[in-house]
Chain A
Amino acid sequence: MTNRIREAFLKNANKKAFIPFITSGDPSLEVTEQLVYAMEKAGADIIELGIPFSDPTAEGPVIQEANLRALSNNITTDDIFKMVENIRKNTQIPLVFMTYANVVFHYGTERFLDRCQGLQVDGIILPDVPFEEKEEFAVSCQERDIAFISLIAPTSHERIKKIAESAEGFVYCVSSLGVTGTRSEITTDIGSMVSLVKEGNPSIPCAVGFGISNAASAAAMAKVSDGAIVGSAIVKLCGKYKEDCIQPVADFVKELADAVHGL
């Protein structure tokens, strides 16, 4: 399934991928499911589904609040697996779970990943599991052909090459210091981070996330990498429009996806 992620990066004419993020269960799992279909139609190449966690330490206020909204609806990991089961009846778009180590660990890492494998989940992102701790999760992922996606940050410097060497799926390039959330500008030299990734692993795609707020910045980030990830700017719309967020999200994702794909 790690190949489906690769293919998602290669299928567009300009070989760039657009990856939106939403928090499962915000505002409801029914809406989340519909958002997946709408975002695929609008041009998303891979979709990141957040599994809410009570204390998401890498998130800014927008996604923190989305997590709390989902949890206050009593959404559980099992409910999310059931939703993905429905999604898989309708689409094979690459899906990547983004959550925190404890959600996976406490469910039972093997049990969690067995469920993922059964549902053809393509990858998993755990922002609180750095390179030094990844073996605990990555080995079990490999056994099931699930990509354990690594992150690099503006502070990673000499770590980037070694992270890239064993990276799978794609490398998640964190554009800025701090937590998730939209920013008015991104000042990091993304281009040189991406070159370091490619030095370590020439074939791994590298997508940029954190702080991308509009089509122009998505296009700019995709230009210097292989793709753009947008979370908070989309989740903001889910928070604002609630049950009626499907159309506004679809419109926004289309704008972003077109920009990334150079259309």
Chain B
Amino acid sequence: MSKGRFGIHGGQYIPETLMNAVNELEEAYNRYKDDPEFKKELKDLFNQYANRPSLLYYAKNMTEDLGGAKIYLKREDLNHTGAHKINNCIGQCLLAKKMGKKRVIAETGAGQHGVATATIAALMGLECEIFMGREDCERQALNVYRMKLLGAKVHPVDSGTKTLKDAVSETMREWTNRVEDTHYVLGSVMGPHPFPTMVRDFQAVISEEIKDQLFQVEGRLPDAVVACVGGGSNAIGTFYHFIPHKEVKLIGCEAAGRGIHTKETAATVNTGSLGIFHGMKSYFCQDSYGQIAPVYSISAGLDYPGVGPEHANLYDEGRAEYVPVTDDEAVDAFEYLSRTEGIIPAIESAHAIAYVKMLAPTMKKDEIIVVTVSGRGDKDVAAMARYRGEQIYDE
């Protein structure tokens, strides 16, 4: 087995042109990850710039309304740029600087990762180019403008399904084109080694904080932690420090789109099969000949046909479970959290909230669920209005 394996998953299935780049990256990451100075710089940026630690908020209204387990929200939506994505971008851009790279490139789905990358690139004086499916550019026009405002160049991607997977493919292609001075800030726990491990380490701050924060108020571990899963970076960040604690249930919520029995779904673990794509072995939505399926979800950030290799392995081992949540359920949860707690979540995060709505009433009142609100929902407001038949912008 090659490097970067999680059980049978992971690996480095990429063109030869990129091999030296990922090897260099791995070397640099291994050199800096335990370096006290690097760790201090990272922590300072987390705390001074990105507003960490993010709050662990007791959702009293939601808890009372659902009448079961106590619900805590991990407020990654309160980070600078409004999502967990900034954690990974700070880590990778800091590393890119150490490696002497002048330019960063990244894919984006909903635009959150693109905005976070453009933000840190602006902060650190790196050139920045973002690849985004044309369909997503239209769904998330506000984020496109934010990226431009931050000094990034945005390339709409017209290949394939014009969504996240095509943006990843196009960013990989661009990386093979200009690799010497460029770092690819991959936005999730996917792609070739060392990305799944490195991105997980940068996101693991989420569960590290949850553990401390919950211990302070409750004096114990949670019974379940819940997060939405596209590629799976906020979920792995939410799970990571609880993986050794077998008594903590780990639950990932996948985007089922119009349902896992329809073709319009992006629930990879529930409907996919083993494959090799985008640099990794993992589960993918694909047809019987291994052609990658055009997936669908209302959420641009979860609209991806694969899942990170560590999740695939957590599933194989039975350590984590992955549940499908439909568009309808997610939209209901989007509105529910807004009304109940005065918190408008990203439509991605609303998938996790939707599952908690079903889970909490089945649990005892002295049990605890922590759910990660991976991002805030401002970017989704127009689309949610449209979903309810209301046009708030002129088309």
Contact = CB atoms under 8 A, between A and B. Distances in A.
Partners in one complex: yes
B179 interface: yes
B354 to A, nearest CB: 30
Nearest to A105: B276
B15 A127 contact: yes
Contacts of A132: 2-3, 11-12, 19
Given A55-B292, A177-B176, A177-B177, A131 B19 contact: yes
B286 A57 contact: no
B291 A154 contact: no
Given A106-B286, A178-B176, A57 B276 contact: no
A53 B173 CA distance: 15
A156 B16 contact: yes
A177 B15 contact: no
B74 to A, nearest CB: 33
Nearest to A106: B290
Contacts of B21: 155
Interface residues of A, number: 42
A151 interface: yes
Given A55-B277, A57-B169, A174 B16 contact: yes
Contact of B17 (A61, A104, A177): A177
B17 A154 contact: yes
Contact of A76 (B19, B160, B289): B289
Contacts of A159: 16, 19-20
Nearest to B160: A55
B85 to A, nearest CB: 23
B2 A133 contact: yes
Contacts of B273: 106
A61 B176 CA distance: 14
A262 interface: no
A102 B275 contact: yes
B20 A155 contact: yes
Contacts of B106: none
Contacts of B278: 57
Interface in A112-162: 127-133, 150-157, 159
Nearest to B170: A57
Contacts of A151: 15-16
Interface in A48-69: 53-55, 57-58, 60-61, 64, 68
A71 interface: yes
Contacts of A102: 275-277, 284, 286, 290, 292
A176 to B, nearest CB: 9
B19 A106 contact: no
B17 A133 contact: no
Interface residues of B, number: 40
A77 interface: yes
A54 B165 CA distance: 11
Contacts of A78: 289
B14 A179 contact: no
A107 interface: yes
B16 A153 contact: yes
B14 A130 contact: yes
Contacts of A163: 16
Given A58-B176, A107-B289, A130-B12, A174 B17 contact: yes
Contacts of A129: 13
B391 interface: no
Contact of B11 (A100, A131, A133): A133
A103 interface: yes
B235 to A, nearest CB: 24
A57 B159 contact: no
B276 A101 contact: yes
Nearest to B177: A178
B78 interface: no
B218 to A, nearest CB: 45
A157 B166 CA distance: 30
A64 B159 contact: yes
A133 B291 contact: no
Nearest to B278: A57
B15 A130 contact: yes
Nearest to B273: A106
B178 A103 contact: no
A54 B2 CA distance: 25
B179 A101 contact: no
Name the residue among B20, B177, B288, B289 with the largest chain A CB count within 10 angstroms: B289
Given A54-B291, A105-B275, A157-B20, A128 B11 contact: no
A106 B15 contact: no
B278 to A, nearest CB: 7
B160 A54 contact: yes
Interface in B253-288: 273-279, 281, 284, 286, 288
Report the 7 A-B pairs with minimum CB-CB distance, sorted nearest first. Answer: A106-B290, A178-B177, A153-B17, A101-B276, A54-B291, A102-B290, A153-B16
Given A64-B159, A128-B13, 10 more contacts: A55-B160, A58-B176, A77-B289, A102-B292, A106-B274, A107-B289, A156-B16, A159-B20, A174-B16, A177-B177
19 contacts: A54-B292, A55-B160, A55-B277, A58-B173, A68-B160, A102-B286, A102-B292, A104-B290, A127-B15, A128-B13, A130-B13, A130-B15, A153-B15, A153-B16, A153-B17, A155-B18, A156-B16, A157-B20, A178-B17
